[in-house]
Amino acid sequence: MTLVLLTGATRGIGRAAAVELARQGVEVALVGRDPGRVSAVAAAARSASGGAPVHEHVADLTLMSEVRALAAQARERYPSIDVLANNAGAVFASRKVTAEGLERTFALNHLAPFLLTNLLHDRLGGGRVVTTSSDAHRYGLLDLGDLQSAKSYSAMAVYGTSKLCNILFTRELATRHPELCATCFHPGVVRTGFAKNENSILRIATTVAAPFLRSPRHGARSLLWLATSAETADLTGAYVVDETVVQPSLQAQDDALAEDLWERSAELAGLPADVSA
C-alpha cells in the first residue's frame, strides 16, 4: 500500500488531497499545526476511505525543532515513505522572526520542506517528493545575502521568493538524488486559508475574491497526479501547472543559484553543506 506523508493537510488543497488520497485507498500521514483540525481532517479521510490507515501528526513547521521532531516520529513509525508532499505554506502580512531567529515565510515555505526532505531521505527510497510552489515565484527575486528579508519586506514579494526557492530546491534535489522523483507545481489561485493567519488586508482581499477562485479540489489535482499517477513515476526536476510540465522563470532555472541556495539552506538548517541525506 502506498504511504503519503502530507504537510499542510488541514486546509485548502491539503485537506482536499488528504480526503481524495484516502478515497483512493492510499495510506496517509497528515501533518498540521492545529490538533483539532488534524483530527477533523483525519476523520473525514477515514470516512472517505475503504479502510486505508490514516495517521495524525501535529507540528508547527515554522520551527525547525518541530520539523526535526516530526521527522523523528515519521522515522520511528514508517519504515518507508512512498511520497513526501511538502504542501504547508503561508503568506504573512508583516515581517516577524520565529523563536529560532528565522523569518516566518522563509522558514515555513522553504526551509521546513528542505529540512524535512533531507531528514527523511533514507525513508523515501526511490519515492517521490512533491512540493507545492506557485506561479507567484515569477514575482520573486532571490537575494542569497538577504534570505531573511531584513532589508525590506513586502508580503507578496517575499511569498513569491519563497515559492522560487521551492522550484530551485526541487531542481537541486533532482540533481543530487536522481533516485528520487522530485517535482513541484502551481495549484492555481485557490480558495484556501493560506492568507488568513492574521488580521490584514490580505485576509480581506482573499475573502472578497473567494467566489472567483479555484476550488481546493481543483487545486489539488496536480498534487494528486504527481503523487500517484503512473504517468509521473519517472518525472523529476519539473515544474507543473495543471498536470502539464512548464518552464518556470529564468531565475528558477539557474542551476548555480539552486546549488548555492541548497548550501545556504543546509547551513541555516544545521545540516552539512554537502548533505546528500
* pTM of the complete model: 0.91
Average pLDDT, the chain: 91
Domain extents in the chain: 59-212+225-269
Is 78 among the residues known to form the active site? no
Please check whether residue 96 is in contact with residue 201, taking contact to mean a CB–CB distance below 8 angstroms. no
Please identify which of the residues 139, 153, 159, 239 carries the catalytic annotation.
159
Average pLDDT over residues 155-179: 98
DSSP 150-161: -S---HHHHHHH
Pairing mode, if any, of strands 3-6 and 181-186? unpaired
**Beta carbons within 10 angstroms of residue 55's beta carbon:** 18
3-class DSSP string for 37-75 = HHHHHHHHHHHHCCCCCEEEEECCCCCHHHHHHHHHHHH
What percent of the chain has a predicted confidence (pLDDT) above 70? Answer: 89
- According to CATH, what is the number of the domain 59-212+225-269? 3.40.50.720
Q: Is the pLDDT confidence value at 203 over 60?
A: no
Quick one: pLDDT at residue 273? 67
- Torsion region of 270: left, alpha or beta (phi above 0 gives left; psi -120 to 50 gives alpha): left
Quick one: pLDDT at residue 108? 98
Average pLDDT over residues 102-111: 98
